[in-house]
Amino acid sequence: MTELAATDPLPKPKRDIAPILLPVALAVVTIPLIGSPSTWLTLTAASLAMGMMIFIMASGLTLVFGLMDVLNFGHGAFIAVGAYVATLVLAPFAASVQADSLWVNLAVLAPAALLSMAVSGALGLIVERVLILPVYGQHLKQILMTTGGLIVAEQTLYALWGPQIIPTPLPTSLRGSFIIGDVAIAKYRVLATLIGLAVFIAIQLVLNRTKLGLLIRAGVENREMVEALGYRIRRLFLGVFMTGSALAGLGGVMWALYREQVHASMSDDLTVLIFIVVIIGGLGSIGGCFIGAILVAMVANYGGFLVPKLALVSNILLMVAILMWRPRGLYAVTSR
Amino acid sequence: MMILSGDPPKSRVLTLVLIVIILALAATPFLFPGAKALNVAAKICVFAALVASYDLLLGYTGSVSFAHTMFYGIGSYAIAIALYGMGPNWAAIATGIVAGLPLAALLALAIGLFSLRVAAIFFAMITLAVASAFQVLASQLSWLTGGEDGRSFQLPELLRPGTILISKSLFGFEVNGRILTYYLVFATSAVMILALLRVVNSPFGRVLQAIRENRFRAEALGFRTVFHLTYANCLAALVAAGAGILNALWLRYAGPDTSLSFSIMLDILLMVVIGGMGTIYGAIIGAAIFILAQNYLQSLMGVASKAASEAGLPLLPGLLHPDRWLLWLGLLFIASVYFFPTGVVGRLRNAGAKKAGGVSH
């Protein structure tokens, strides 16, 4: 250890860039395999859009785990609820959704998405108070309680809306693709990527530039110490939980528009994908979650194009490979 | 006592309930005529064994696995594919067993070594991911598994309903191949549950409980916890595959909905928690309550739903619709995790212990 003078700045923590290079490397390696550059660009755009949507849904889960050691197996319920709320709100405004003007479309979509987030967030409040509060610190019961919550939420959606698949058509102005040369990139994917990036940057800014973020990061590292310093970490956690739920709701809306349909069990497959992302990224790490989401989406898109048969198990293979390399995920932020 | 491995129910009411359930199951072919009652009884037997094996994991080691239906499915599919491919003979059944059980154990070993080294939560997530991949795999490899349609097959001559073993004129009821199959299911399930009871009451079972209570301490005492947990995982997988074999034999069919789907996993969770974790007996009670509710509560709810819709009440018809029975069981599940985490068996045992304590003082 070198000695520091009192006036010296603290040594910068070493930046760990290997995980960041991973998706870049994956993208570069696949260029010759895919052959046609235009196909490669389309696939890459698709991966980015899908990765961003998964990131939005997974970010809340990983923070909630990192901060309070709570793993919410019912996280998927917020996704489905968000999607349903948006469908419900958009139904009376079908004319505005179908209008051929970007601004008219966005004027309905944005409030619908915000309302979905509000409802998911409020549901998060209820879930945290009713289901999770009584079982803090008991992993087994947390898993059981939140799984029970998932069953109840899914069945309630079935009871209210029935088992049929509800179509959610994309607004007219978001249909179709931007065509640059011979590369076609779907407009909605561009929007999804932009929203995902905005969410990622917003989370990073809050976590790294505000006092709130400082407290959250400190809580992830050492909860007892933050409590001992006099901060109410429970309240902080409730806020993070509600934000995470709201983000899951937003992800649900985006996914519903992406797939152009809503179903009460739509979150089942997504939950698995989200868990894989959270594990790959390292439980509690937002940066890891971001990279993990892009990796999963890349493997799904490139893999689906190159070896369709392998696409079924590609996520598992990716997870195994990453965990062989780093047993705690890309970025291990918690000591747990 | 020997047969229960020195771990009796320890409560008079519980003993009585168990005896009633077991006697009713044993006598179902003669007491309750009709195919539905026999189907329900067979399902209770299969699930009692399956849930008991899950209890070995959840109740005794405290690790939550979401891959238990995968092992159940491996057993089901192994026997179905063997009987479908080789025709209805005993060699096919033997092949299915010889292929299915080791496959399940090997997969459990791989998952265990890979993920049991770290926290319980990690294990839960990894098993969920692996199980969902397996489910997709089974539905995609349709040349082998029959895809979404699954595989229907014929049983050997002896086990078919058409085979009359004891004709009606002798005792007043007919004993046919179907009833023989039922007793095969019943006896095998009973043996598997007794074997699990033996496992959890062995020194090995004590170590598992020590790991559940405090893994760090168990490790400090010199037990290799990873080895014990992986071993328990393999044992549970073997019994689950066994239950899957019985299930396929009874249904003469294996498909994604009957042996692999995630909803079966949730059913198992509900059964083990409602019955009582860490007791093995809870599996029998949980399976009996759940499957009876599944088969008979639904018709009750149908009546209630109709009445509610005729009375013009809002929402209620939807909430009481027979397909929504899982909603109510989900609420019961949350309530039981919260209010009585030891389940029915724990409740009855506690009541019995209190009474016994009162007498001795």
- Residue A327 reports pLDDT greater than 60: yes
A172: containing domain = 43-325
Instruction: Flag whether A2 is in a domain.
Output: no
Whether the predicted interface score ipTM is above 0.85: no
User: pTM (2 decimals)?
Assistant: 0.84
Tell if the CB–CB gap between B129 and A275 is shorter than 8 Å.
yes
pLDDT 10s digits, A82-100:
999 998 888 888 777 777 7
- Residue B360 reports pLDDT greater than 50: no
Q: Nearest by CB to B338, from A134, A320, A323: name it.
A: A134
Per-residue pLDDT, B120: 66
Tell if the CB–CB gap between A151 and B118 is shorter than 8 Å.
no
Contact present, B344 and B289 (Cβ < 8 Å): yes
What 8-state DSSP symbol labels residue B156?
A: P
CATH of B33-294, one of 3.30.1330, 1.10.10, 1.10.3470, 1.10.150: 1.10.3470
CA distances from A218 to A208, B253, B278 (A): 11, 55, 37
pLDDT 10s digits, A159-207:
888 888 888 888 878 888 888 877 888 889 999 999 999 999 999 999 8
pLDDT 10s digits, B287-332:
999 999 888 877 788 788 788 777 777 777 777 777 777 788 888 8
Residue range B9-28: average pLDDT?
90
Contact present, B284 and B15 (Cβ < 8 Å): no
- Residue A288 reports pLDDT greater than 70: yes
pLDDT 10s digits, A19-49:
888 888 888 888 888 888 888 888 899 999 9
Q: How many folded domains does chain A comprise?
A: 1
- Residue B281 reports pLDDT greater than 90: yes
Give B-chain residues touching A144 at CB under 8 angstroms.
Answer: 64, 269, 273, 333, 337
Mean pLDDT of chain A: 86
The token duo for B5 is 């491995």
Q: Which helix (H) or strand (E) holds A129?
A: none
Supply φ then ψ for residue B22, to 5 degrees.
Answer: -65, -40
Question: Which of A23-27, A106-110, B172-176, B192-196 is the least confident region?
Answer: B172-176
d(CA A289, CA A330): 9
Give B-chain residues touching A308 at CB under 8 angstroms.
Answer: none
Q: Would an 8 Å CB–CB cutoff place A323 in contact with chain B?
A: yes
Q: Nearest by CB to B330, from A148, A323, A328: name it.
A: A148
Nearest chain B residue (CA) to A132: B338
Instruction: Flag whether A36 is in a domain.
Output: no
Supply φ then ψ for residue B197, to 5 degrees.
Answer: -60, -40
Give B-chain residues touching A275 at CB under 8 angstroms.
Answer: 125, 128-129
Q: Would an 8 Å CB–CB cutoff place B313 in contact with chain A?
A: no
pLDDT 10s digits, B99-130:
999 999 999 999 888 777 666 667 887 888 88
Give B-chain residues touching A65 at CB under 8 angstroms.
Answer: 121
Per-residue pLDDT, B361: 39
Supply φ then ψ for residue A177, to 5 degrees.
Answer: -135, 155
Residue range A260-281: average pLDDT?
86
In 3D space, the residue among B106, B126, B105, B107 whose CA is nearest the CA of residue B115 turns out to be: B126
Tell if the CB–CB gap between B334 and A141 is shorter than 8 Å.
no
Nearest chain B residue (CA) to A159: B318
What does R_g of chain A's alpha carbons equal in angstroms? 21
Contact present, A46 and A314 (Cβ < 8 Å): no
pLDDT 10s digits, B35-57:
889 999 999 999 999 999 999 99
d(CA A332, CA B50): 36
Give B-chain residues touching A266 at CB under 8 angstroms.
Answer: none
In 3D space, the residue among A215, A210, A211, A207 whose CA is nearest the CA of residue A235 turns out to be: A215
The token duo for B306 is 């109709």
Nearest chain B residue (CA) to A282: B122
